[in-house]
Amino acid sequence: MTSPLVAILSGAGISTDSGIPDYRGPSGVWTRDPDAQKLVTYAYYMNDPEIRRRAWQVRRKNRTLTAEPNAAHRAVADLERAGVPVRVITQNVDGLHQRAGLPARKVLELHGSARTAMCTQCGARSAMADALVRVEAGEDDPACLACGGILKSATVMFGESLDTEVLGEAVAITKACQVFIAVGTSLQVQPAAGLPGIAADNGARVVIVNAEPTPYDDIADEVIREPIGTALPELLERLRAGGGL
């Protein structure tokens, strides 16, 4: 029997066990400090050197680049290794699905990657770690080494559009899957938030794993409120064992 195509939409909640705080949860980054959104808003970032200086200090201190995958990330990679067709559509920028062993070609990063720095002028890309070495050495706002332009993380800031090719592929996978699992996402940010509805409209079984209620709970076939680090591995083990959901 052919295994069903499983699409997994992952949000910040899947990475909190790896020490990366979420954004909109009760103790999320933006819940505690709404002003922090300015650091990831394109217009503020491009027009205010002080915002850029603060943003580089946040990048220097945050745990994204040193975080390790947790049980939930590993369970997704294990499912793929077991031969189940899996595609991950992630709102996260931490690269932990890939670090857990999921092939990069099976991960769609809707919001880009914090592991890469990019020039806003010439588009040159380089390792974020290299830019952070320059910050550690005393550069407040490291410029592009190729053209002198402003560097930013290769993530989608507020005020920027998602990559249309990546989004188009995400929608195609959502329409084609038989099982759609939304995990650790508040489902409040469009267009990603609309994917469960597209999956349901195309006949997929929709499962939502999240600590807080989401706007799409009422269309889900199953809603799980248990901690992601145990709930997602158990859920995927049911799939891997061939028992369905």
% of the chain exceeding 90 in pLDDT: 83
Q: Which pLDDT belongs to residue 184?
A: 96
Are 195 and 103 in a shared domain?
yes
Q: How far apart are CA 155 and CA 160, in angstroms?
A: 9
Q: Is the pLDDT of residue 27 over 60?
A: no
Q: Which of 190, 220, 225 is nearest to 206 (CA)?
A: 220
Q: Is the pLDDT of residue 29 over 70?
A: no
Strand ranges across the sheet with 179-183: 107-109, 86-90, 6-10, 179-183, 205-209, 222-224
Domain count, the chain: 2
pTM: 0.89
Instruction: Write the single-letter amino acid at 100.
Output: A
- Domain span at residue 46 reads 28-62+115-155
- Could you confirm whether 73 is annotated as catalytic? no
Are 79 and 200 in a shared domain?
yes
Are 128 and 104 in a shared domain?
no
Q: Is the pLDDT of residue 64 over 90?
A: no
Are 7 and 126 in a shared domain?
no
Are 35 and 95 in a shared domain?
no
Q: Which pLDDT belongs to residue 36?
A: 77
The CATH number assigned to the domain holding 8 equals: 3.40.50.1220
Q: Which of 52, 73, 97, 111 is catalytic?
A: 111
Range 176-195 average pLDDT = 94
Are 215 and 243 in a shared domain?
yes
Q: Which pLDDT belongs to residue 242?
A: 72
Q: How far apart are CA 95 and CA 64, in angstroms?
A: 9
Are 50 and 141 in a shared domain?
yes
* Residue 38 CB contacts under 8 Å (≥ 6 apart), including other chains: 44, 45, 51
Q: pLDDT (tens digit, 9 = 90+) per residue, 216-225?
A: 999 999 999 9
